[in-house]
Amino acid sequence: MNRRNILWSAVSALGAALGASSAKAATEAPSSNKLKVVYHLSDAEKVNFVLGNIQNHIDGVGGPEHVTIALVIHGPALKAFHAAQANPDVSRRVGEFFKDGVELAACGNTMKAQNVTLTDLLPGFVSAEKGGVVRLAELQSQGYLYLRP
């Protein structure tokens, strides 16, 4: 009975050591394996919440060099990013995200519906010509994780 306990303890210790080694290897993965995440924003009342989530995400992983983030905006939320009516906090955050390499994509269909062009939006935006939902699907097919806060 005593030998069985000793053997079981040895096997358990070996399993724990291998598990710890695997966990350490996963946290030391090269930056080429960094996560790719796309945030989906269409609700005007969630603009500040989503921008806060993106900043928390960047901060939580240790900076923009550790994650690739895209923000795809369509529908009523796009009005918050019109340069003429954007509040200063939104303008500041968008500028910082652009500097951090966040892709800021505006739905081409929504832009037409709101009668705006890229020059009417805050600096840094690109047009999702085929539409916001198409861009979301394209990014997901490229391995981006989809988040809709």
pLDDT digits (tens, 9 = 90+) for 8-46: 554 454 454 444 444 444 445 444 678 999 999 999 999
Compute, in degrees rounded to 10, the torsion defined by CA atoms 25, 31, 32, 38. 110
**pLDDT score of 33:** 78
What pLDDT band is residue 4 in, cutting at 50, 70 and 90? low
As to burial, measured by CB atoms within 10 angstroms (0-12 exposed, 13-18 middle, 19+ buried), residue 98 is: middle
pLDDT digits (tens, 9 = 90+) for 67-114: 999 999 999 999 999 999 999 999 999 999 999 999 999 999 999 999
The pTM assigned to this predicted structure is: 0.78
User: What are the DSSP calls for 36-96, one per residue?
Assistant: EEEEEE--GGGHHHHHHHHHHHHHHTTSGGGEEEEEEE-GGGGGGGBTTT--HHHHHHHHH
Residue type, 65: E
- What is each CA distance from 98 to 24, 25, 91, 114, in whole angstroms? 32, 31, 11, 23
Lowest mean pLDDT among 31-40, 51-60, 111-120: 31-40
**pLDDT score of 107:** 98
24 φ, ψ (degrees, to nearest 5) = -65, -40
How far apart CA 54 and CA 29 sit, in angstroms, is 22
The length of the chain in residues reads 149
**pLDDT score of 94:** 97
What pLDDT band is residue 6 in, cutting at 50, 70 and 90? low
Positive or negative, the Cα torsion across 121, 132, 50, 142? negative
Compute, in degrees rounded to 10, the torsion defined by CA atoms 131, 121, 65, 58. -90
